[in-house]
Amino acid sequence: MAGPGVRGAPARWLGIGLWGLFLLRGCLSLEVSVGKATTIYAVNGTEILLPCTFSSCIGFENLRFWWSYNSSDTFKILIDGTVKNEKSDPKVKLRDEERITLVGSTKEKMNNISILLRDLEFSDTGKYTCHVRNPREYYLEHQATIFLQVVDKLEVVDNTLMRIILAVVGGVIGLLIFVLLLKKLITFILKKTQEKKKECLVSSSGNDNTENGLPGSKAEEKPPTKV
């Protein structure tokens, strides 16, 4: 009786351990995302949406979220709030400025805590970090950062991107043409040298012992005529 019990215990612990690992990998961690762009450009005087969504498969209750701002000389909390549960919208407890509004919704699994920043000033340039802390995850904090660059014209940025794309495309096409030309050139040179070789072989075959060279050169002679 003692034998199987002792042997069974490690198996049971292994099972629990694997289950825990599965939970950790697939479920326990909440994820925060600010989208694909790591840098957002916006024109002064306009408004910009700073996106942030999170996902949590174990659900949440009394989740805390906040946005912070960080530039070379400033650090501040822009907005701070809580979300009671999955059926309620976020409640803002602190807001640094009138120009900031929480526009997301957390109802119906939208889990969206994006903010809108109005009347952009050049000094708004900096790092914006969206933080989420879920009590169900032992208060682990998750965050994602986006960089906002306030500019006076967007065209400049577009032009740079366009120029980079054009340069890359142009480079690739150029390289292809170069490779094709190189291939043509090599084929041409090979053909020429073969013709030269043939001439040599023909002239030398008359007088001496290079009989082995003849069949070989005849076989090589055919492919170029096909091309």
Contact footprint for ligand NAG (CB under 6 A):
44-45, 49, 51, 53, 70, 75, 103-104, 112, 114, 152
Nearest to 120 by CA among 80, 157, 72, 69: 69
CB of 27 to ligand NAG, least distance (A): 21
Helices 213-226 and 155-205, interaxial angle, to 10°?
A: 140
Tell me whether residue 82 or residue 112 sits nearer to ligand NAG (CB atom): 112
- The order of strands in the sheet holding 48-50 is 48-50, 115-117, 100-102
- The order of strands in the sheet holding 91-95 is 39-43, 140-151, 126-134, 63-70, 75-83, 91-95
Tell me whether residue 91 or residue 179 sits nearer to ligand NAG (CB atom): 91
Residue 31 in contact with residue 54, Cβ under 8 Å?
yes
Tell me whether residue 28 or residue 49 sits nearer to ligand NAG (CB atom): 49
CB of 105 to ligand NAG, least distance (A): 7
CB of 142 to ligand NAG, least distance (A): 15
Tell me whether residue 70 or residue 125 sits nearer to ligand NAG (CB atom): 70
The residue at minimum Cβ distance from ligand NAG is: 45
CB of 65 to ligand NAG, least distance (A): 13
The dihedrals phi and psi of 104, each to the nearest 5 degrees, come to -75, 175
